[in-house]
Amino acid sequence: MAVPKRKTSRMKRGFRRSADALKQPVYVEDKDSGEFRRPHHIDLKTGMYRGRQVLEPKS
């Protein structure tokens, strides 16, 4: 059976548990289409990013 060699310190325990406090993802309303999207991400419905056409729009 696996047994830890040393006690886990409070600092290491805190590093491991730091992901428990992560926030929900943020969404912003797109200026042109009014759809919600992640900031700094491509709008997949229109294919626009920072005012430029980057992808073909989904049909």
State residue 31's pLDDT score: 83
**Structural domain includes residue 56:** yes
Is the confidence at residue 11, as pLDDT, over 70?
yes
State residue 51's pLDDT score: 87
Ramachandran assignment for 42, one of left (phi > 0), alpha (psi -120 to 50 degrees), beta (any other): beta
State residue 58's pLDDT score: 67
Is the confidence at residue 57, as pLDDT, over 90?
no
Query: What gap in Å lies between CA 48 and CA 42, rounded to an integer?
Result: 6
Q: Domain range spanning residue 57? A: 27-59
Question: Percent of the chain scored above 70 by pLDDT?
Answer: 97
**Structural domain includes residue 43:** yes
C-alpha triplet 58, 34, 22: angle, nearest 5°? 90
Structure tokens at 59: 């049909």
**Structural domain includes residue 31:** yes
**Structural domain includes residue 1:** no
How many structural domains does the chain have? 1
Q: Each residue of 20-46: pLDDT tens digit? A: 888 888 999 988 888 899 999 988 888
